[in-house]
Amino acid sequence: MATGSATSDRENTATGTVTVAIKNLANETVGEASLPEEIFGVPFRRHLVWEVIKGIRARSHRGTHKVKVRSEVSGSGKKPFKHARRSTGTAERSTAPRRTPTT
- 72, 66 contact by CB (below 8 A): no
* pLDDT tens-digit series, residues 69-82: 877 877 666 666 66
Asked, for residue 34, whether it belongs to a domain, the answer is: yes
Q: How far apart are CA 48 and CA 45, in angstroms?
A: 6
Number of compact structural domains in the chain:
1
Q: b/e string for 64-85 if b means 16 or more Cβ within 10 A?
A: eeeeeeeeeeeeeeeeeeeeee
Asked, for residue 43, whether it belongs to a domain, the answer is: yes
Asked, for residue 68, whether it belongs to a domain, the answer is: no
Closest CA to 20 of 38, 44, 41: 41
Q: How far apart are CA 36 and CA 15, in angstroms?
A: 9
In this structure, the number of other CB atoms found within 10 A of the CB of residue 18 comes to 21
Ranges of residues in the chain whose predicted pLDDT is under 70: 1-14, 75-103
- What's the domain range around 13? 2-55
Asked, for residue 92, whether it belongs to a domain, the answer is: no
- Whether this model's pTM surpasses 0.75: no
